[in-house]
C-alpha cells in the first residue's frame, strides 16, 4: 500500500470518527417496556382499543407509608393527609386516592351523605374506624395493608406518560418523600421502574466497556507483548463502536435495555477480526517476509476469511428481524451494521497503519521452540491419537445435553431482572406480601346479545366471576361494576359491611339500580363500563407469579367460565402484563425457528464461498455441540427460557462459527498446495490455533464482563454466551480436525 493512500485512509477515518463521535454525543437512553409488545398482534390491537375506552392499566404509583406509633394515630394521619394534598398538586398527577381522602356514602330516606373512612379531626373515633376497616373486605389489602401497619396511597398519573414527564413526576414525588421523612416507606410503579432501569443502563454501559477493555488489554499484552498488539486492535474496535453509535443517533434510535449490550458485543467481535489479522501479519514477518509483502499475504488469506466471518456473524444477528418486536429487530440490525463496519475499518485502518509504522521486532527463536507451537503440537498429536475417545466423549455430551434441553421451561416475571436486594425489588415484594401485589390484571366481560351488563342475570354472573378471581385466581384490589353495585348496596343499608353484596332477589336489585341511576354515578362507572353498557372492565392487581403460572391460571379460569350457566356473556383477558407474557412466550417458542434460519443461511453462505457441501456441513457440526451443551446445562440449572435468554443461542452461534471458518479457510489454502492431508491439517492447526485461543479468550473476557450486571438477563447472556464460545473453541481444536480427517478419507464432497 502506497504511503499516500495510507495517509488518505487515516485522515478519512479520523474525519469519520470525529463526525460520528459528535453524533453519538447526542444519543439518548430510553426504557419503555411497551416497545417490547409484539407488532401487528391481535391482542395488542384489542388492548389499544380497550384502553381508549377505559384507561391504561399501569399509569399509577403506589406509595405505602406507616408509623412506629401505628397508622390509626391522629398525628400520623394528619401528616399523611398533608402528603396526599401535596401529591395532588404535582404536575402530571390526575388524581390521588388515599385513606385520608376517601369517603363512604350513606343513603337513606333523607338523601345521601358521605362519611370519611378515617376521622382525622376526631381521634376518639379512630378506634371505631379501625374496627370497621378490619371488617371491610373492600379496604384491606387495597388501601390498608393486611396487618393494618401501613396505608397505601394511589397516585394516578397522566395516561401514556412521556419519558420527560415521567422523570419530572418521579423527581417531584421523591422530593416530597424526603421532605416528609416517613419512618416506614415503600413505593413502586412504572415511572420508578423505568428510571431505575435507565440509571443502571447508563452506568453498566460504561462499566462493561471498561472491564472488557481492561481484560482484553491484558490478553493482548500476554499474547503479543508489543505496541502493535495492543494499541492497533483497540483503536480499530473503538472506531467501529463510535461509528455504529453515531449511526444509531443519526437514524433516530435510542439506547434501550437491549442495545446497551451492543458496544460490548462489537468490542469483542471486532477485536477478534483484528487479532486474526495481526497474528498472521506477525507470522509472515517471522517467516522472513518484508513488511509490505507480509501485509499483502495477510490480507489476501486472512482478510478473505475475516470477510466471511463478518458476513456469517452479521447474518446471525440479522435473523432477529424475523421477530416482530421492535427492540429485538433494532438490536439485530445495528449489531449487523456494527459487525460489517468493524470489518471495513479492520481491512482499511490496519493495513494503512501497519504500512506507516515501523516494522516491529520479531522473536527469532526456532519455530519449534516457540511456546505456542509447542503447546499446539502436543494438542494436535493428542487429537490424532485419541480420535475414537474424543468422538465418544462428544456423543455422550450430546446425549446428556439433549436430556437437559427437554427440561427447559418457558417462564418470565416482570421484575426478575433485578436482584432481590435491589430497593425497587424489595418494595415490589412489600406490596406482594402486604397488599394485592403490583402486577396489573385486566379482563373485559362483554355481552353477546343486546342485553346490558347491569341486567340482573348478567350481574349475578359477574359477581360469580369476581368471587372466583379473588378466591382462585388470587387477584386483588379488583374494581368492577360488581364492586360499585356492592358498595352502593352497602350505602343504602347505613354502611353496614354485611350488605357489601349483590341483592339476593331481582326485585331488590332493580330497586337498587333505580336508586343508583338517580344518584348519577356515571363518572364512577365510565372507567368500568362502556357507554353502551355492553362491556365491563375488571381491573386489579396480583403477585408477580410468573408467566407460566399465569398461563395455567388462565386455562383454569377458562374451564371455570364454561361452568357459568349464563351463556349471554363472554370474556377476554388483556392488559400490559398479558402482552409481556405473550411476547416472552413468543420469543421463546420461536428461538428454534430463528436459530434454524441462522443455521441454513450461514451454511448456505459457507457452501457458496467454499463451493462445497462438505465445508458447509463441517462448519455447522462443531458449533451445534456447544449450543446443545449449554442448552442442556441451562435445563439442569433451572434457567428459564424468556425474552433475554432466548437470544443467547442466536448471538453465540453467529460469533462461534467464526473460528470454524478461519480454520476451514486456512485448511483449504494448505490443501491447495498439494501436500498430504495430515501435513495440511497440522499447518492449519498450528497457524490458526493460536488465533482461535487468543480470540476466544478475548471474546469470553468481553462477555464475562457482563456478569457484573445488576440485570439478571444481562448476567445470563454474558455467562452463557461466554461458555458457548469457550466450548466452541475447544470443539474446533478437538473435534473439527477429526471431522476433516473422516470427511476426506471418505471423499465427501
* Distance in angstroms (rounded) separating the CA atoms of residues 22 and 604: 39
pLDDT band at 380 (very low <50, low <70, confident <90, very high): very high
pLDDT digits (tens, 9 = 90+) for 337-359: 999 998 899 888 888 888 888 87
How far CA 713 is from CA of 415, 424, 647, in Å, comes to: 11, 17, 11
* Distance in angstroms (rounded) separating the CA atoms of residues 64 and 302: 63
State the SS3 of 550-612. HHHHHHHHHHHHCCCCCCCEEEEEECHHHHHHHHHHHHHHCHHHHHHHHHHHHHHHHHHHHCC
Q: What is the dihedral of CA 286, 306, 727, 664, to 10 degrees?
A: -80
* Distance in angstroms (rounded) separating the CA atoms of residues 120 and 76: 10
Res 89: pLDDT? 94
Residue 100, number of CB atoms within 10 A of its CB: 21
Q: 645 versus 543: which is more confidently predicted?
A: 543
pLDDT band at 363 (very low <50, low <70, confident <90, very high): low
pLDDT digits (tens, 9 = 90+) for 545-596: 888 899 999 999 999 999 998 989 999 999 988 888 887 777 766 777 777 8
Mean pLDDT for 48-72 is 90
Nearest to 144 by CA among 435, 530, 344, 342: 435
Mean pLDDT for 41-68 is 90
Mean pLDDT for 652-680 is 85
Average pLDDT, the chain: 85
* Distance in angstroms (rounded) separating the CA atoms of residues 107 and 478: 24
- Strand order in 93-97's β-sheet? 93-97, 151-157, 60-66, 184-189
Q: Which helix (H) or strand (E) holds 451?
A: none
Q: Which residues pair with 476 in a beta bridge?
A: 541
Res 369: pLDDT? 45
Q: 377 versus 3: which is more confidently predicted?
A: 377
In our burial notation (b when 16+ CB lie closer than 10 A, e otherwise), range 619-640 reads bbebbebbbbbbbbbbbeeebb
Report the sign of the C-alpha dihedral through residues 237, 238, 241, 244, in that order.
Answer: negative
Are 425 and 555 contacting, i.e. CB atoms less than 8 angstroms apart? Answer: no
Q: Is 188 helix (H, G, I), strand (E, B) or coil?
A: strand
| Cα angle: 314, vertex 320, 325; to 5 degrees | 145
465 grid coordinates: 366471576
Nearest to 579 by CA among 534, 640, 643: 643
Mean pLDDT for 198-206 is 80
| Cα angle: 180, vertex 181, 187; to 5 degrees | 90
Mean pLDDT for 671-689 is 87
Res 522: pLDDT? 56
Res 748: pLDDT? 40
Q: Is 711 helix (H, G, I), strand (E, B) or coil?
A: strand
Mean pLDDT for 310-333 is 83
pLDDT higher than threshold 70 for residue 428: yes
Residue 114, number of CB atoms within 10 A of its CB: 10
Q: Is 637 helix (H, G, I), strand (E, B) or coil?
A: helix
* Distance in angstroms (rounded) separating the CA atoms of residues 284 and 304: 16
Phi/psi of residue 417, nearest 5 degrees: -65, -25
- DSSP secondary structure string for all residues of 141-169: TTTB-TTSS-EEEEEEE-TT--HHHHHHH
Query: Which residue has 464461498 as its cell numbers?
Result: 609
pLDDT digits (tens, 9 = 90+) for 246-305: 999 999 888 877 787 788 788 877 777 787 788 788 878 877 888 888 888 888 878 777
Amino acid at each position: 500500500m502506497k504511503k499516500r493512500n495510507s495517509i488518505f485512509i487515516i485522515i478519512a477515518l479520523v474525519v469519520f470518527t470525529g463526525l460520528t463521535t459528535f453524533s453519538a454525543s447526542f444519543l439518548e437512553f430510553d426504557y419503555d417496556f411497551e416497545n417490547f409488545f409484539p407488532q401487528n398482534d391481535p391482542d395488542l390491537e384489542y388492548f389499544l382499543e380497550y384502553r381508549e375506552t377505559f384507561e391504561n392499566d399501569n399509569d399509577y404509583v403506589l406509595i405505602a407509608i406507616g408509623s412506629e406509633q401505628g397508622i390509626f394515630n391522629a398525628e400520623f394521619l394528619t401528616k399523611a393527609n398533608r402528603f396526599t394534598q401535596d401529591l395532588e398538586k404535582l404536575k402530571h398527577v390526575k388524581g390521588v386516592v388515599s385513606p385520608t381522602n376517601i369517603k363512604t356514602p350513606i343513603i337513606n330516606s333523607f338523601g345521601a351523605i358521605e362519611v370519611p373512612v378515617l376521622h382525622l379531626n376526631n381521634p376518639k373515633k379512630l378506634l371505631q374506624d379501625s374496627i370497621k376497616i378490619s371488617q371491610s373486605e373492600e379496604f384491606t389489602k387495597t388501601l390498608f395493608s393486611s396487618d393494618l401497619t401501613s396505608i397505601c396511597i394511589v397516585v394516578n398519573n397522566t395516561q401514556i406518560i412521556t419519558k420527560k414527564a415521567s422523570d419530572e413526576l418521579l423527581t417531584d414525588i421523591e422530593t416530597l418523600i424526603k421532605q416528609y421523612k416517613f419512618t416506614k416507606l415503600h413505593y413502586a410503579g412504572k415511572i420508578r421502574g423505568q428510571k431505575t432501569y435507565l440509571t443502571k443502563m447508563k452506568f453498566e454501559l460504561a462499566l462493561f466497556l471498561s472491564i472488557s477493555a481492561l481484560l482484553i488489554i491484558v490478553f493482548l499484552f500476554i499474547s503479543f507483548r508489543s505496541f502493535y498488539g495492543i494499541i492497533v486492535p483497540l483503536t480499530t474496535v473503538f472506531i467501529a463502536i463510535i461509528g455504529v453509535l453515531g449511526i444509531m443517533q443519526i437514524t433516530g434510535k435510542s439506547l434501550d435495555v437491549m442495545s446497551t449490550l451492543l458496544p460490548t458485543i462489537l468490542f469483542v467481535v471486532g477485536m477478534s477480526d483484528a487479532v486474526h489479522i495481526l497474528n498472521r501479519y506477525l507470522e509472515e514477518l517471522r517467516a522472513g517476509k518484508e513488511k509490505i509483502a507480509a501485509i499483502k499475504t495477510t490480507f489476501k488469506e486472512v482478510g478473505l476469511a475475516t470477510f466471511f466471518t463478518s458476513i456469517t456473524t452479521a447474518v446471525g444477528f440479522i435473523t432477529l428481524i424475523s421477530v416482530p418486536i421492535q427492540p429485538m429487530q433494532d438490536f439485530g440490525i445495528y449489531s449487523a451494521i456494527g459487525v460489517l463496519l468493524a470489518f471495513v475499518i479492520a481491512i482499511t485502518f490496519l493495513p494503512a497503519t501497519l504500512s506507516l509504522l515501523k516494522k516491529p521486532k520479531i522473536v527469532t527463536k526456532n519455530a519449534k521452540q516457540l511456546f505456542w507451537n509447542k503447546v499446539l503440537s502436543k494438542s494436535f498429536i493428542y487429537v490424532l491419537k485419541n480420535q475414537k475417545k474424543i468422538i465418544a466423549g462428544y456423543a455422550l455430551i450430546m446425549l446428556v445435553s439433549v436430556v437437559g434441553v427437554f427440561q427447559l421451561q418457558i417462564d418470565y416475571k416482570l421484575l426478575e431482572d433485578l436482584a432481590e436486594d435491589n430497593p425497587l425489588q424489595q418494595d415490589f415484594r412489600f406490596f406482594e406480601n402486604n397488599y394485592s401485589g403490583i402486577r396489573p390484571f385486566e379482563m373485559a366481560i362483554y355481552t353477546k346479545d343486546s342485553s346490558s351488563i347491569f341486567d340482573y342475570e348478567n350481574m349475578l354472573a359477574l359477581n360469580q366471576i369476581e368471587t372466583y378471581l379473588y378466591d382462585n385466581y388470587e387477584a386483588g384490589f379488583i374494581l368492577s361494576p360488581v364492586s360499585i353495585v356492592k358498595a352502593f348496596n352497602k350505602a343504602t343499608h347505613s354502611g353496614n359491611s354485611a350488605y357489601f353484596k349483590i341483592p339476593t332477589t331481582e326485585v331488590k336489585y332493580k330497586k337498587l339500580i333505580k336508586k343508583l341511576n338517580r344518584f348519577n354515578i356515571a363518572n364512577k362507572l365510565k372507567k368500568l363500563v362502556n357507554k353502551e353498557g355492553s362491556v365491563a372492565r375488571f381491573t386489579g392487581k396480583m403477585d408477580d407469579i410468573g408467566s407460566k403460572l399465569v398461563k395455567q391460571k388462565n386455562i383454569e379460569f377458562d374451564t371455570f367460565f364454561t361452568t357459568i350457566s349464563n351463556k349471554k356473556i363472554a370474556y377476554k383477558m388483556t392488559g400490559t402484563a398479558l402482552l409481556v407474557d405473550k411476547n416472552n412466550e413468543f420469543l421463546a417458542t420461536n428461538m428454534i425457528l430463528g436459530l434454524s434460519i441462522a443455521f441454513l443461511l450461514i451454511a448456505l453462505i459457507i457452501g457458496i464461498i467454499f463451493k462445497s457441501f462438505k465445508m458447509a456441513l463441517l462448519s455447522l457440526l462443531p458449533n451445534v455441540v456447544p449450543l446443545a451443551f449449554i442448552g442442556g446445562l441451562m435445563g439442569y440449572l433451572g434457567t428459564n427460557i424468556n425474552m433475554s435468554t432466548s437470544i443467547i443461542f442466536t448471538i453465540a452461534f453467529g460469533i462461534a462459527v467464526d473460528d470454524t471458518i478461519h480454520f476451514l479457510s486456512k485448511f483449504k489454502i494448505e490443501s491447495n498446495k498439494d501436500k498430504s492431508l495430515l501435513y495440511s491439517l497440522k499447518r492449519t492447526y498450528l497457524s490458526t490455533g493460536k488465533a482461535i485461543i487468543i480470540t476466544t479468550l478475548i471474546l469470553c473476557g468481553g462477555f464475562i464482563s457482563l456478569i457484573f450486571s445488576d440485570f439478571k438477563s444481562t448476567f445470563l447472556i454474558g455467562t452463557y454466551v461466554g461458555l458457548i464460545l469457550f466450548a466452541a473453541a475447544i470443539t474446533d481444536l478437538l473435534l473439527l480436525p477429526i471431522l476433516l480427517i473422516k470427511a476426506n478419507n471418505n471423499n465427501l464432497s
